[in-house]
Amino acid sequence: MTEAAEKGEICPHLQERRIWIDGCFDFAHHGHAGAMLQARQHGDELFVGVHSDEDILENKGPVVMKLAERMEAVQGCRWCTRAIPGAPYVTDPKVLDKYGCKYVVHGDDITTDANGNDCYQAMKDMGRFIVVKRTPNISTTDLVGRMLLYSKDHFLPKVTCGEYDRFFKGQSMETLLLRSESIETYKAYATCEDGLNPGVAVFLYTEEDEKLHELVQPDRSNWLPTREIYYIDGGFDLFSPGHIVALKALRELAEEKNALVIAGVQDDSSVNKHKGLNYPIMNLFERSLCVLQSRYIDGIVIQAPYKPTANFLRLFPMEVTEVFHGPTREQDNPYQEVREMGIFHRLERHQYDTMTSEDIVDRVLENRKTYEERQRRKGWKSKRETAMGVKVKEGVSKVILG
């Protein structure tokens, strides 16, 4: 990051390596992170424009997460240099000029405004538009649909130790978590701030044999033998500002002791057992990617146990000296063992500490008719955007440059 960007100063001229991306970023799902990752790989700095609630309502439909909440999500992404609130829904070259961003990045789909016009047409005409691959099978619309339909079809079964052994031996796997393309996705989302080089670690825990398997190696220079680990776990469903601000607070505590932050992400069946209905709304693969892209962590554990035990904590490559959880309390006390060890702590309360995935779903269900209309409207827009996208893909490979 340049000194000017860090101070938030406006740049007097365009910079080739300063990239712009914009969007609604409603719900912090891994599709948003994937777009920011790919955008960051095109430059040295990434400025992220976040649309206002009013602009989104006019052009797309009502938001679930308010602007301040969506800003927390964007600012918490490892590849974001600076988040810009209130960016126009139709991308304006003058705004990019103001911040010195020469190119805007967007997925290979088409986004239209309320009138059905391409939001990026002006940037395309100027040769300042870069196309990246859209993350498949995830969108805010998909997640809203799961809430409205109470679907459980997205749940993933636990990975067994036998499945991991077959994967380790090079056999192709049907389970989503261990497919070759999934491992490549984990590696991409684990990269450091440049979006290219190794950054954080990815572990997989298998319950039957109580083993911790390293799926993605971190930046070894950051994992010094003298460092300790601060561990936090949870479902992290719909990766809300409550989760993000908690991780941010833990990062600040860890930095005082030069400690690493490792987040355990619990499997779908464990979350459903304790939350019921069709929770989690996001499956384990989706939730783990949401946590993995966070700038506040040094590693994640996929399929982390609901109750962290002393035996589990001994599996890490460094000593786990502290275990944390948010300010909310659990009925069945899963932290009894680490509490008896004297290493359990609750994080301090913050402005989003009461926000849960249930609260976010309630926002949708309380306005069910409005969101159902949004789903129908999105369907109409999708047909037009798809038709426009076919025309674009016929003449565009990767970058539109004059």
142-195, pLDDT tens digit by residue? Answer: 777 888 888 899 999 999 999 999 999 999 888 999 999 999 999 999 999 999
d(CA 338, CA 323): 7
d(CA 198, CA 191): 5
d(CA 47, CA 45): 7
pLDDT for residue 217: 95
pLDDT tens for each residue of 313-331: 999 999 999 999 987 777 7
Amino acid identity of residue 9, one-letter, is E
Going by the DSSP 8-state scheme, the letter that residue 112 receives in this structure is B
Confidence of residue 332 (pLDDT cuts 50, 70, 90): confident
Cβ–Cβ < 8 Å for 352, 241: yes
Residue 14 confidence (pLDDT) above 80: yes
pLDDT tens for each residue of 339-375: 999 999 999 888 898 888 889 888 887 776 676 665 5
Cβ–Cβ < 8 Å for 8, 82: yes
Q: Which of 44-48, 62-66, 133-137, 360-364 has the lowest mean pLDDT?
A: 133-137
Domains of the chain: 14-136+370-400 (3.40.50.620), 161-355 (3.40.50.620)
Total residues found in the chain within this entry: 402
Q: What is the separation of C-alpha 31 from the centre of its chain, rounded to a whole number of angstroms?
A: 7
Calculate the average pLDDT of the chain.
Answer: 87
- Between the CA atoms of 348, 350, 356 and 361, what dihedral angle is there, to the nearest 10 degrees? 180
Going by the DSSP 8-state scheme, the letter that residue 77 receives in this structure is B
pLDDT for residue 20: 98
Measured at the alpha carbon of residue 236, what is the angle toward residues 230 and 242, in degrees to the nearest 5? 85
Burial label for 138, CB within 10 Å (0-12, 13-18, 19+), is buried
Strands annotated E in 235-296: 260-266
